[in-house]
Structure 1
Amino acid sequence: MRPLKRDYAPSRWRYRLSRWWLSPRVRLMVKRGLPLSVIAMVVGGLAANPHNQAWVRAQVMAAHSAVVDHPEFAVLALEIEGAGPDLTAEVADALAVELPASSLRLDLDEARARVEALAPIDTAQLTIGPDKALKVRVTERIPVAVWRDRQGLHLVDPHGVVVSDLSPAPERPDLPMIFGTGAAEHVGEALALAEAAGPLGPRIRGMVRVGERRWDIALDRGQRILLPESGAVEALLHVLALHLSEEMLERDIEAIDMRDRTRPTVRLTDHAVREMRRLRAMEAGEDA
């Protein structure tokens, strides 16, 4: 009996598996996708453990601190320029920086905002120098007038910002005095009037904001100049011209009303009114 010949042809399933293995997608999935999936499962299992999570966080924080707190990034000193002793102390308190500190932990923009929030500070610049010092250069607000309202006396800058309060009130004869609600917001107009007053300047006791829309100028001897809402400087120059030519403000005048530029009005003092009536009565008696 003849032995049967061995069939070396692959079986149907083996043939299909061979063809399937030749597919690029299958080979990529088995060689890369499957190992990555196993690794992801292992890592996910480890990451789900709270103890492992705490250990990873501790390692990350340690690495972060090692970089941030490196001596190369240390800030060792604080230098404040452009401020007096009292204001320097206020700036230091506003910064609240505990030295030594890491420059990577300092938010310079936020620190600058805290410094500029101080009333006496106009602008501030913060830099960290090569000498590891935090340098703060400040520009103080310059007071240009004394504003009096119901709360008291205040120094204001050209923008009407209150620089500081005057309590108890010291003498500031070098600054014009303004009064009334809304006067600080229009301090520029008051300064223009003070400059235009010229020779009347020494006699000005203050400028009063009336109805939050116009100015009165209070002079010594109880005199007052009532100015219009618009063209106040021109109206004041008109009064000044009358005074220089006729010495009007040297007479018994209580007020000069310039609110209507076309019809200026002069208000006499009570003494001047009585004297005028007496003279008229004398003239009337002589005529009789």
Structure 2
Amino acid sequence: MTSDRIGAGAGAASAKRGSRTRVLPRALRRPVRFIQRLVSGDVSVPPRTETMLFGAVIGGAILYGSVLGGQFGQAVEQTTAAMGFAVEEIELSGNTYTPVDDVFAALGLDGRRSLVSIEPAAARSALTDLPWIASARIAKVYPSKLVVEVGERSPFAVWQTGEALSVIEQDGAVIGGYAAHPRLAALPLLVGKGAAETGAGFVATVQQYPIVADRVRAHIRVGQRRWDLRLDNGITVRLPETGVERALERLVTMQDELDVFGRDLAAIDMRLEDRTLFALTGNALEARQALIEARDAAREQARRGNRI
């Protein structure tokens, strides 16, 4: 019984030790065995192997440091450019409002550039970061040609808030600041807070009446509730909050019958359904006042003459 117990105890201890034994993964077993044989002297090392290994380690460290410092990329850039892969020809299309210099700067083409080092995905991202460019396609034609096709956003109007002028799309999204350009000069001008978001529908309504639309120079949003029209001769047409189409039809009729756009008026107030109010310019008001005074003087003189 004693021996059985002793045996049992030894077996338990052996089991404990076995449970603590660590087994290397299969992928590491062969390298570890080789190192053990190398250390024990079972494997003979060829001459200069240590020097080669040391050089490989140092070279790897230098290469790693160069990559981190950006020097490796510069070396590749210069080497491949010198080998005949420098960008010599650029075919650019689709840019109407984006300056060529902005495209070149975004692509890093303001200096000598290797075609090999240009990453199309990074180049597309850099181009679409420009205000006007919505999409871009990059193609490398070896040994030295780069093809760039861009798709620009569609301008709808110029939006003025205070003294700031911005070019906007039809949904009111701002493209960028306004810059002098023949095509942009012909865009509708929207003025005031809320004009960008609601301008497309209003401009479309006004364009249904060409006799009015051809004279409009600015669409002015008033109190984010209604619109005024500023004509090319300075007349302001005040439109109602609702029933804009009916007001414009009345305005067209008055223009046909009375040539109101040719009168010396400061404003035409269409906000009331049953009447139209006219505001005279300062000069017209003075002239009218002088006419009234002259008429009254003539009547007074005629009255006195009748008494005599």
TM-score when normalising by structure 1: 0.58
Amino acid at match of 1:259: R
Match for 2:256 among 240, 244, 252?
244
Alignment-derived partner of residue 40 in structure 2: none
Give aligned-pair identity as a percent. Answer: 24
**In 1, Cα distance between the equivalents of 2:149 and 2:175?**
21
Runs of at least 5 residues in structure 2 that lack an aligned partner in the other structure: 37-53, 303-308
Displacement of 1:220 in angstroms is 4.1
CA deviation string 1:54-113 (max 9, x = no partner): 669649969x99xxx7x8xx985454321259722201211226423346xx361x5433
Alignment-derived partner of residue 199 in structure 1: 211
Runs of at least 5 residues in structure 1 that lack an aligned partner in the other structure: 1-11, 44-50
Match for 1:136 among 148, 151, 163?
148
1:124 and 2:135 correspond: yes
Compared with structure 1, are the counterparts of its residues 229 and 129 closer, same or farther at alpha carbon in structure 2 (3 Å cutoff)? farther
Compared with structure 1, are the counterparts of its residues 249 and 165 closer, same or farther at alpha carbon in structure 2 (3 Å cutoff)? closer
* Aligned residues of 1:178 and 1:209 also touching (Cα < 8 A): yes
Q: Work out the number of aligned pairs and report it.
A: 251
Alignment-derived partner of residue 247 in structure 2: 235
Amino acid at match of 2:101: A
The 3-state SS of whatever aligns with 2:271 is coil
Displacement of 1:226 in angstroms is 1.0
Alignment-derived partner of residue 178 in structure 1: 190
* Aligned residues of 2:156 and 2:167 also touching (Cα < 8 A): yes
226-235 or 211-220, which deviates more: 226-235
Compared with structure 1, are the counterparts of its residues 238 and 252 closer, same or farther at alpha carbon in structure 2 (3 Å cutoff)? same
CA deviation string 1:15-35 (max 9, x = no partner): 99xx9xxx9xx8xx8997799
* Aligned residues of 2:96 and 2:152 also touching (Cα < 8 A): no
Match for 1:99 among 89, 98, 114?
114
**In 2, Cα distance between the equivalents of 1:75 and 1:190?**
54
* Aligned residues of 1:216 and 1:227 also touching (Cα < 8 A): yes
Alignment-derived partner of residue 223 in structure 1: 235
* Aligned residues of 2:266 and 2:279 also touching (Cα < 8 A): yes
The 3-state SS of whatever aligns with 2:207 is helix
1:161 and 2:174 correspond: yes
Compared with structure 1, are the counterparts of its residues 99 and 222 closer, same or farther at alpha carbon in structure 2 (3 Å cutoff)? same
Task: Give me the CA root mean square deviation.
Answer: 5.3
Displacement of 1:195 in angstroms is 1.5
Map 1:47-126 onto structure 2 (within 5 A).
58=61, 77=87, 79-83=91-95, 87-96=99-108, 98-102=113-117, 106=119, 108=121, 110-121=122-133, 123-126=134-137
Match for 2:32 among 15, 32, 39?
39
Compared with structure 1, are the counterparts of its residues 84 and 226 closer, same or farther at alpha carbon in structure 2 (3 Å cutoff)? closer
